[in-house]
Amino acid sequence: MIPVVISGTGLFTPPHSISNDELVTAFNAYVDLHNAEHATAIAAGEVTALEPSSSGFIEKASGIQSRYVMEKSGILDPAHMTARIADRPDDQISLQAEMCVAAAREALERAGKQAHDIDMVLVACSNMQRAYPAMAVEVQEALGIDGFGFDMNVACSSATFGIATAVDAVRGGRARAVLVLNPEITSGHLNFRDRDSHFIFGDACTAIIIEAQATATGAHQWEILDSRLKTSFSNNIRNNFGFMNRFDEAGVGLPDKLFRQQGRKVFKEVCPMAAETIKDTLTAAGLGTDDVARYWLHQANLNMNLLIVRMLLGRDAEPGEAPVILDSYANTSSAGSIIAFHKYQDDLAAGTNGVICSFGAGYSIGCVVVRKL
């Protein structure tokens, strides 16, 4: 098979950061307003009083200390608790495409590529801001790429599924090089009024250049040795928002139209699936866990990552073996493992093996084994 590499990565970080303390202050103010408004019903046992949150609870439950968002003030307004981002006219670049372009420029620079070197654009993320035209085609136009593009969604595993799709396109002769983009505005589908999940997500966008090794010139190239993709249906992570919501007005605005999960079930079921998929991918690549210097895992929950590494290695991870970025970025869905890879790859020597793995709704798990050239 044609050797294929990741030749460049890029990252767009939004301009605003929200600390746990800021988020908790806003949430607890909302709780006070809600409980005061429904005091009579709460006293009668007709409505359950909401409980306040705390920064200590958030960090213990997730490892998250802060997160980046595209807009901050609306989220922290107890009477609003949603980002205030204005609609853009059709003749202006869309918000997700703008994020993609910023991340793509860094990836192209690191890979030593120009727009004319790219034949395919793939936008892979959890939520698209519109149904059509495809975000990827808009990004293609904005960057001046002559080729084709399309969107795909495999929730938090979108980036790794995108990498595997790009590899197939290069090996099949469909494209010389592929630009994979993961624009995640997760603050748009997060329920900031839900104590169990209001702290989980952050916004970001990552970019990845996939091309044949023969054409790669970037300073940091990673050969893709093997990959495995796995899905298994589960309702434990779900969002029912979509165009069919307009058919039943009674459902508009209900909590199921935003992110929701059964966290304990997800933890119990996904961790062994992820560890097993990583082991299977390493075996297919002719490697064992002892041959891997670094694991760039999906950044959803620190406790999940610690457990997965423990399942793989039979011990806790050493410093640097499984980099963490969710403390400052929170869960950025498909972008998380790529942010970790982008930030923690340049220090590794040629011949070093690594694993990029993501997991999430679906359930979906994508694993990519790479070696630095």
Instruction: State how far the Cα of 17 lies from the Cα of 150, in Å rounded to an integer.
Output: 31
Q: Identify which of 335, 356, 342, 286 has the alpha carbon closest to the alpha carbon of residue 181.
A: 335
- Give which of 189, 192, 199, 268 is closest to 60, Cα–Cα: 199
- Is residue 357 annotated as a catalytic residue, yes or no? no
CB 184 within 8 A of CB 299: no
Active-site residue, from 156, 205, 271, 367: 156
What are the backbone angles phi and psi of residue 5, rounded to the nearest 5°?
-130, 155
C-alpha distances in angstroms, 165 versus 22, 83, 95? 40, 33, 25
Q: Give which of 199, 155, 166 is closest to 359, Cα–Cα.
A: 155
Structure tokens at 160: 């790794």
Q: Are strands 4-12 and 204-212 parallel, antiparallel or unpaired?
A: antiparallel
Q: Does the N-terminal peptide bond of residue 133 adopt cis geometry, omega within 30 degrees of 0?
A: yes
Which residues form the catalytic set? Answer: 156
